[in-house]
């Protein structure tokens, strides 16, 4: 759910303008990526940057096309509509965000699943403190396109599902059974999304740290009772 640290998750309005795409809802890891080369990739990157800074509705197709420097004919060679482009942006951001977060928590937590789980909150803390924090692009998409059957809303939910699965597997690997892991992962998702909202709306810089304390207390209590 963040904007990539290096670049998106990943959102709508926020603090100073981002250097590149906002992380949709997740944590920063600092890795650098090559500049997009193909026309489709450049359209996705330009659109992501604009959506992160201004939201989806205010950014018209003409502005995206002008940003990339292509014709409408060229655009329609790659996408059927602006909605189609938004879905492509969300799909790419999701893949990047989950990969980045997986790498980051392994770097921070080593092979310990509990340490990796808590490292997610540390990763979010770095993201929250970045100067280009703009909120979560996936939460923004779900808000602007709230109908559950809307393909954009569905594309946004894919990221939440991916983050939930990342949490669930770590909780289970830490020593809890499948049912308990599902419940704890759901609680962790509430903590993470709440922390994003607190940072974005209230500019609460310590939101991820506060959420981490609660997550650690809940996890420790569950692991102790499971012994």
pTM of the model: 0.82
- Interior/surface letters 5-17, b for 16+ CB within 10 angstroms, e for the rest: bbbbbbbbebeee
Q: Supply the CATH number for residue 220's domain.
A: 1.10.357.10
Total number of domains constituting the chain: 1
Name the residue range of residue 148's domain.
2-226
Helix crossing, 113-129 with 151-173: angle to 10°?
140
Q: Taking the chain (227 residues) in consecutive chunks of 10 residues, what is each chunk's mean pLDDT?
A: 39 31 39 65 96 95 96 96 98 96 96 96 97 94 97 97 96 93 96 97 96 96 85
Instruction: Note the pLDDT tens digit of each residue in 62-91.
Output: 999 999 999 999 999 999 999 999 999 999
């Amino acid at each position: 759910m963040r904007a990539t640290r290096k670049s998106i998750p990943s959102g709508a309005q926020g603090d100073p303008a981002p250097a590149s795409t906002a992380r949709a809802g997740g944590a920063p890891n600092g890795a650098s990526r090559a500049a997009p080369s193909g026309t489709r990739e450049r359209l996705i990157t330009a659109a992501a940057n604009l959506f992160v800074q201004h939201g989806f509705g205010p950014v018209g197709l003409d502005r995206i096309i002008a940003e990339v420097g292509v014709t409408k004919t060229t655009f329609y060679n790659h996408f059927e509509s602006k909605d189609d482009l938004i879905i492509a942006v969300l799909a790419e951001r999701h893949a990047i965000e989950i990969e980045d977060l997986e790498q980051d928590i392994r770097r921070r937590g080593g092979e310990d699943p509990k340490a990796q789980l808590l490292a997610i909150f540390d990763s979010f803390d770095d993201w929250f403190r970045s100067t280009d924090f703009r909120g979560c692009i996936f939460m923004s998409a779900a808000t602007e396109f709230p109908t559950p059957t809307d393909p954009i809303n569905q594309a946004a939910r894919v990221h939440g599902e991916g983050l939930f699965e990342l949490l669930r597997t770590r909780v289970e690997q830490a020593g809890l059974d499948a049912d308990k892991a599902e419940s704890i992962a759901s609680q962790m998702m509430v903590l993470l999304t709440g922390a994003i909202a607190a940072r974005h709306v209230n500019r609460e810089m310590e939101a991820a740290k506060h959420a981490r304390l609660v997550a650690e207390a809940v996890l420790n209590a569950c692991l102790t009772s499971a012994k």
